[in-house]
Every structure is written in C-alpha cells, then in structure tokens.
Amino acid sequence: MTSGDERTHGGVEFPNTRWSLILAGKAGGDARRAAYDEIAQHYVEPIRAYLRCAWARSPGRVDDLAQAFFAWSLESGFLAKADPTRGRFRAFLKVALRNFALEQRRKERATMRGGDVTTESWTRADGSDVEVLDHDAASAEDVLDRAWKGALVRRALERLRVEFESDGRAAVYAVFRDYVLEPSTEIDYATVAARHGLTKVDVSNYLQRAKTRFRAVLRAEVTDTVRDPDALSDEWSWLFAEAPR
C-alpha cells in the first residue's frame, strides 16, 4: 500500500513526480492552475524549442505560442486525457504539443478561408511562406529532446549550487563549476587550487563529492518526470545516450 506521497512498485517505494501535478490538475480549479504554473516554470524552454522548430517563428512569437499552448491545455481538457501508466512525462508533453499544433493549424486555415481577419503569415528564416508544421515532426521532437536534456542539467546544477552554498560548502561547488563547467581546456587541479586558496588534494576531494552529489541530484530531476522505476531506467539511459531516441 502506498501513502499519499509514495507508491510501491515491485516492493520499492517510489516518490511522487510531475505526474502528481497532472493528476491533481484533473480536479480543476486552483489545483489545475497550480499544476500548469509549475509545469510551465520547469518545461517552458523545451516547449519553446519545439514550437520554434515546428513553426519557424521569431523568439517573440514563440513566447506567445508557448503561452497559447498552456492556455489551450487548460481549456481543451487535455489534462484529463493524461495516462500516467505510460510512464514518461516527456512523451506525454510531445503528444500535447502535437495536438496543440494541429488545432492551431485548423484555426489558422479557418481564419484564412474566412478572410475577415488579418493574420501574421508563417515564414521561414529566408522569408518564404511555410505552412504550420511544415517541418518534419520528428525533427521538432529531437529539438525538444535536446532542450529537455539541457533543462534537466541546468536545474540539477542550480539545485547543486543552492545545496552546497546553503550549508557552507560554497567552495565545493566553486571547484566543480570551475573544473567541470569552465569551457577552457587549460584548467587543471593546480589552477583551480590556486584560484580558491586550496591544495590539489582539496580540489580532488571536492570534485569527487560534487560529482557524486550532482549525479544524485540529476537523477532526482529525471525521477521527477517519470512514473515508476522502469520508466526511470529508460529515461536515465536516454539522457546519457549519444543521440535522442
């Protein structure tokens, strides 16, 4: 039996995830709004990446489309169709975006046929006209996948930074940041040690601690987007694959 905060899967307790927000949102009202606000906060960048690729819109118009997507999700009742048993929130989001895009295309065509409303034309980067979803849907999904990976890593890094700085170990994160995240190929233990007034042994120890903790925090971020351990294993493997599946 599971508590309100955990579920049992194969004898293993598994924490609630973003799916909990989706399920709460089905109730409507404030719960639905809160769910979408949090989802928007965490996943707006992958959503924008998908919309930019699928529709070849300017960054400003992509922001409008992203807002329209969340409004559509709330108003269309798409939330009620969510099936947590299918596991991965990323897959659910792709379906939602695809349905939104198709609905927008129908509206665009209807408006153009009516002739009584002036609409902004869809254009490619070279200025030529393009129909909504003219791009291969698979390419837009690949773009979303790449943006999704980036968003996961950025959130994990921010959580790591806050965690180390809040408990007085800012130097541990600083070493990790400088050695692992700095783009320079010239960085080495001696350089980082001198920069922060540490020994090379300190740098080695700090890096080990930070890398271990980063992996745990990143895994927690991935866990937050799945429904059970099997989906977690698949998503974790996907995250470190050379190319999106």
The dihedrals phi and psi of 8, each to the nearest 5 degrees, come to -105, 130
Q: By three-state DSSP, how is residue 2 classified?
A: coil
pLDDT of residue 240: 85
Instruction: Tell me how long the chain is.
Output: 245
**What is the DSSP secondary-structure string of 114-183?**
H-SS--PPPB-TTS-B--TT-S-HHHHHHHHHHHHHHHHHHHHHHHHHHHHHHTT-HHHHHHHIIIII--
pLDDT of residue 17: 52
What are residue 8's DSSP bridge partners?
Answer: 13
Work out the pLDDT band at 111, boundaries 50, 70, 90.
Answer: low
Integer-rounded Cα radius of gyration of the chain: 22
pLDDT of residue 117: 41
pLDDT of residue 140: 85
Q: What percent of the chain has pLDDT over 70?
A: 69
pLDDT of residue 130: 37
